[in-house]
Amino acid sequence: MRPMVRYHRCISFCLYLVGFIWFVLSLKKKYYMRQFSLFAWTHVTLIIIVTQSYLLIQNMFEGLIWFIAPVSMIVCNDVMAYIFGFFFGKTPLIQLSPKKTWEGFIGGGISTVIFGAFISQVLCQYKMFVCPIDLEEPGAFQCEPSPLFQPTDYELPSALATVCRLFHLKTAVTIYPFVLHSLSFSLFSSIIGPFGGFFASGFKRAFKIKDFGDIIPGHGGIMDRFDCQILMASFVSVYYHSFIRAPNQQKILQQIYLMKPEVQLQIFNSLRDFLQERGHLPMILTPD
């Protein structure tokens, strides 16, 4: 199984080349336009579905919390938007989905922000959700949580702190830093996420179909439930790699262990000189 994991990119590319060559050999006169149209549609589908699914799986390997929290936020927004729209909905939101209302959109958004902060606070307390998944390590869910998943004290804004002092309340709150990042996910799932559903609605209307499938009674197919999840997975991946991701010490060490001894020694000397120049290492370690 490990060779499959290690060389999966090469294996996938080779399989793609097999399909590409097979396609070229299957070209027939008078059917060129039809065949290349299907070829283009296949690649568009792969870009929209497979690429997003890859990002979704990649998020899971950074820690299950990067998968569970965003997915649950989308589900919460979908459910609460329906409830608020059912009981209070009066103002139509968009023509593509006549049943969507502004009341449901706003109510679902507020509920998602509250739920997102709550579920993030709960998940951060368990290592099995915050530890990165490494198939080559036996203890996948045993790690030292990063500062992102450790309780941190935050001072309240001055105006709010003044009010708290009047009532003899604490002027600082202790929360996990991830909870603050979860606000970005909640806002995205509430404001931008629904447009994934609107896109799917427009696509189905273009082909005059009600649902993508019928595997789930009353709800359609898998894609009918995951139309917003695809967009959310892309955002989480971009957000993580842009603002959060830091070098993995364990992976860096593993790469150094695989190098030749002379290269390892060169890295050691460079690192030693670097630390000595900044006063983090005694000069006594310098060789004569």
Q: Where are the domains of the chain?
A: 2-246, 250-288
pLDDT in tens, the chain (288 residues): 667 777 888 998 999 999 999 999 999 999 999 999 999 999 988 887 888 888 888 999 899 999 999 999 998 998 899 899 999 988 998 887 888 899 999 999 999 999 999 999 999 999 999 988 876 666 566 788 888 999 999 988 888 888 888 888 888 889 999 999 999 999 999 999 888 878 777 777 777 776 666 665 555 556 656 677 878 989 999 999 999 987 777 778 888 888 899 999 999 999 988 888 888 877 654 454
pLDDT of residue 225: 63
pLDDT of residue 140: 62
Question: Residue 5 corresponds to which tokens in the numbers above?
Answer: 């994991």
Q: Which residues contact 18 (CB under 8 A, 6 or more apart)?
A: none
pLDDT of residue 288: 47
Distances (CA, A) of 78 to 85, 183, 225, 270: 11, 17, 10, 54
Other CB atoms within 10 Å distance of the CB of residue 268? 11
Comparing CA positions, the residue from 152, 74, 174, 145 lying closest to residue 116 is 74
